[in-house]
Amino acid sequence: MLAKELARALREENFVVDLAATGEDGQHLGETEAYDAAVLDLGLPKIPGVEVLQSWRKHQRLFPVLILTARDGWTDKVDGFKAGADDYLTKPFRVEELVMRLRALVRRASGFAASRITCGPLTFEASAGQFELDGPPLKLTAFEWRVLECLIMRKENRRRARSLSRKGL
């Protein structure tokens, strides 16, 4: 099954993955959990992917959504973007491309346009998913990688929040 293989590959790239077998399950997860991004198939059973995405957006779920589907027609793509998709990738695809697109979506949603993010001596090369400390790459466990990624991607938001609180906002 493609979903399980894809979940395994994403976990190897330090993503935390929840799987939903139906549109109904996906809609529920997207409306109740806090996600950095979602990969959504249009051909889900019970509720089609476009309807799932429309429901997420109706409920103000603003995380980036990448549609991953075999539907490569122009109208399918237009419908996906009109429903609120941030990116669209058709099958067959390379897992490496999906990983790069997801990292870019998460990075931009966190307020970073550049793929290289620096915080003191720590650097995160988002496109490669690699951390460096004063130059050499760090060897991290998956948990350590996720913690550092979470902290570095939110460093600017904390700085902005502190600045706003000083101004009395």
In order along its 169 residues, the chain shows pLDDT tens digits of: 688 999 999 999 989 899 999 999 999 999 999 999 999 999 999 999 999 999 999 999 999 999 999 999 999 999 999 999 999 999 999 999 999 999 999 988 887 777 788 888 888 887 778 899 888 888 888 888 888 888 887 765 544 434 334 444 4
Q: Give the Å distances, CA to CA, from 117 to 15, 64, 110, 114, 151.
A: 18, 20, 11, 7, 11
DSSP E strands in the chain: the ranges are 38-40, 65-69, 87-90, 116-119, 122-125, 130-133
Fold matches, 1-109 and 111-169: no
**Per-residue pLDDT at 6:** 94
**Per-residue pLDDT at 162:** 42
Specify the fold of 1-109.
Answer: Rossmann fold (3.40.50)
**Per-residue pLDDT at 14:** 87
CATH architecture assignment, domain 111-169: Orthogonal Bundle (1.10)
pTM of the model: 0.74
Q: For residue 102, give both structure tokens.
A: 């997801």
What stretch of H or E contains 83?
helix 74-83
Amino acid at position 8, single letter: R
Within 10 angstroms of residue 154's Cβ, the number of other Cβ atoms is: 13
**Per-residue pLDDT at 157:** 52
**Per-residue pLDDT at 158:** 46
Per-domain boundaries in the chain: 1-109, 111-169
Question: How many Å separate Cα 162 from the centre of its chain?
Answer: 26
111 by DSSP, 3-state: which?
A: coil
User: Rounded CA gap, 83 and 63, in Å?
Assistant: 13
